[in-house]
């Protein structure tokens, strides 16, 4: 029996559709949004109409009835052209809607998922805090039960999709009690946008992802109904670990797309750019560099698709997700650096897509778990935990 890594007819049709959308709709416009640090509402609305935000969710909640492999395919094709658009989709699905789908009550799913799946509304995941990034167990935000309400106080930072005009909710992790050994019990609570005391700061000034929305959030005596608890009280830490495992597969697909986009742009440029009387692509030094870039992107694609396939089949995938995320983010940075070198001085000009890709690549080694955290997870899965 041989392995077949080819996509199904349905997945290949999705890939072609998103590829066409990325090149025909996203590519001509996104540069201007990026330079203005402006969120591309028009493009996001179109993605919603295409059903991209509902890809991995059942039709009964307004989804497309697809799977995580389908989501990864869409993310890779979008990121081949632009990562701001891709991360908006990734965060909207993996961090915004997925916690509600995985852990929400039937009432919560019916209330929130249809609009999240249609792209009419974006959700965000309030996990990271100013003093605890990788150490999410050190959460300081608190939620105290007061009758039929939770009262939330604290601050979250680097939260994607949290301050757009269409953001509808943020799922916040907060300490809701203490275990017998003194360790915090962390729970997840849905906070609707516009709730009194919930303040969204101005957008960050970022190195990259300039057409995506990233903000700091603060909660000052924010009151929400007790029914807004997402999943079991005290299980928020375990919940977000599951969400991050899945999210790493999605980020790996996005990083692979960026790596492949660097190849696409560099091959095109190497054929068009002439030096010393011939295309620079005729030079073996350039050919070898492009061959290495293609190798990296190809292997990254195999990695994230393997992790996604395991996830879809219900098999353990934590190690494979960490491997895919670690490798794909590393090669995204490598390919972005090499693409800039191939383009020479033009690679330093923002009008060229590779300049965006260079600026966008580094965060992939940080977000959804740093490269150091991925290595820690891999080592732990190998039985090397301290």
Catalogue the active-site residues: 368
Give the pLDDT of residue 233: 94
Does residue 5 register a pLDDT over 90? no
pLDDT of residue 230: 96
User: How much of the chain, in percent, has pLDDT values that exceed 90?
Assistant: 90
Structure tokens at 100: 């509600």
Residue 136 has what pLDDT?
A: 66
Burial class (CB in 10 A: 0-12, 13-18, 19+), 21: buried
Whose structure tokens read 């390919």? Answer: 335
> 């009262």: which residue's tokens?
151
Question: Minimal CA–CA distance to 365: which of 319, 313, 322, 329?
Answer: 329
DSSP 312-323: HTT---HHHHHH
* Cα 240 from Cα 349, distance rounded (Å): 39
Q: According to the model, what pLDDT value does residue 374 have?
A: 96
Q: How far apart are CA 143 and CA 20, in angstroms?
A: 46
Nearest Cα to Cα of residue 362 among 36, 56, 83 = 83
Statement: residue 333 has pLDDT above 80:
yes
Identify the band that residue 148 occupies on the pLDDT scale cut at 50, 70 and 90: very high
pLDDT at 134 over 80: no
331/99 Cα distance (integer angstroms) = 29
The reported pLDDT for the residue numbered 386 is 58
pLDDT (tens digit per residue) in 196-216: 999 999 999 999 999 999 999
Q: What is the pLDDT of residues 286-327, one digit of tens each?
A: 999 999 999 999 999 999 999 999 999 999 999 999 999 999
Tokens standing for 43? 């493009």
Query: What pLDDT is attached to residue 45?
Result: 97
Q: Read off the DSSP letter of residue 177.
A: E
For the record, the structure tokens of 69 come out as: 């492999």
What is the rounded average pLDDT of the residues 144-153? 97
Which one, of 171, 150, 152, lies nearest residue 160 by Cα? 171
Give the residue with greater pLDDT, 240 vs 99. 99
What does the pLDDT read at residue 177? Answer: 93
pLDDT of the residue at 131: 81
3 pLDDT tier (thresholds 50, 70, 90): low
Mean pLDDT across the chain: 95
pTM for this prediction: 0.95
The tens digit of pLDDT for each residue in 66-115 reads 999 999 999 999 999 999 999 999 999 999 999 999 999 999 999 999 99
Residue 1: band (very low, low, confident or very high) from pLDDT cuts 50, 70, 90:
very low
Measured CA to CA, the distance from residue 36 to residue 30 in angstroms comes to 10
pLDDT band of 6, cuts 50, 70, 90: confident
Distance CA(198)–CA(215), nearest Å, equals: 13
In the predicted structure, residue 329 carries a pLDDT above the cut 70: yes
From the list 336, 139, 160, 323, the residue with the least C-alpha distance to 248 is 323
The full length of the chain comes to 386
Closest CA to 96 of 147, 148, 52, 130: 52
- The domains located in the chain, with CATH, are 9-123 (1.10.540.10), 124-234 (2.40.110.10), 238-381 (1.20.140.10)
What is the reported pLDDT for 260?
Answer: 98
What is the pLDDT averaged over residues 232-245? 90
Which segment of 163-167, 180-184, 276-280, 366-370 scores lowest on mean pLDDT?
A: 180-184
């Amino acid at each position: 029996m041989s392995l077949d890594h080819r996509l199904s007819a349905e997945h290949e049709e999705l890939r072609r559709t998103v590829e066409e959308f990325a090149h025909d709709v996203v590519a001509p416009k996104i540069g201007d949004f990026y330079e203005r640090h402006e969120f591309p509402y028009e493009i996001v609305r179109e993605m919603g109409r295409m059903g991209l935000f509902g890809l991995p969710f059942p039709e009964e909640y307004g989804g497309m009835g697809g799977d995580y492999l389908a989501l990864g395919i869409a993310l890779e094709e979008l990121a081949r052209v632009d990562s701001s658009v891709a991360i908006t989709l990734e965060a909207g699905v993996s961090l915004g809607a997925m916690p509600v789908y995985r852990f929400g009550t039937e009432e919560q799913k019916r209330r929130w998922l249809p609009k999240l799946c249609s792209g009419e509304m974006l959700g965000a995941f309030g996990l990271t805090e100013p003093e605890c990034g990788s150490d999410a167990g050190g959460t300081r935000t608190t939620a105290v039960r007061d009758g039929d309400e939770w009262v939330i106080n604290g601050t979250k930072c680097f939260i994607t999709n949290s301050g757009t005009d269409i953001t509808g909710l943020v799922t916040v992790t907060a300490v809701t009690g203490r275990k017998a050994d003194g360790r915090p019990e962390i729970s997840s609570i849905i906070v609707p946008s516009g709730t009194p005391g919930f303040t969204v700061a101005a957008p960050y000034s970022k190195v990259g992802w300039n057409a995506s929305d990233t903000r700091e959030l603060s909660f000052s005596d924010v009151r929400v109904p007790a029914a807004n608890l997402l999943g079991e009280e005290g299980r928020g830490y375990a919940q977000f670990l599951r969400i991050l495992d899945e999210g790493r597969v999605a980020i790996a697909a996005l990083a692979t797309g960026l790596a492949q986009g660097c190849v696409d742009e560099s091959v095109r440029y190497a054929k068009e750019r002439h030096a010393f009387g011939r295309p620079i692509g005729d030079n073996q030094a350039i050919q070898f560099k492009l061959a290495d870039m293609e190798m990296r992107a190809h292997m990254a694609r195999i990695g994230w698709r393997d992790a996604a396939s395991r996830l879809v089949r219900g098999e353990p995938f934590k190690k494979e997700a960490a491997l895919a995320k670690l490798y794909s983010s590393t090669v995204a940075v490598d390919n972005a650096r090499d693409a800039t070198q191939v383009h020479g001085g033009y690679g330093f000009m923002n009008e060229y897509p590779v300049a965006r890709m260079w600026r966008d690549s580094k965060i992939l080694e940080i977000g959804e778990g740093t490269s150091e955290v991925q290595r820690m997870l891999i080592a732990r899965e190998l039985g090397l935990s301290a």
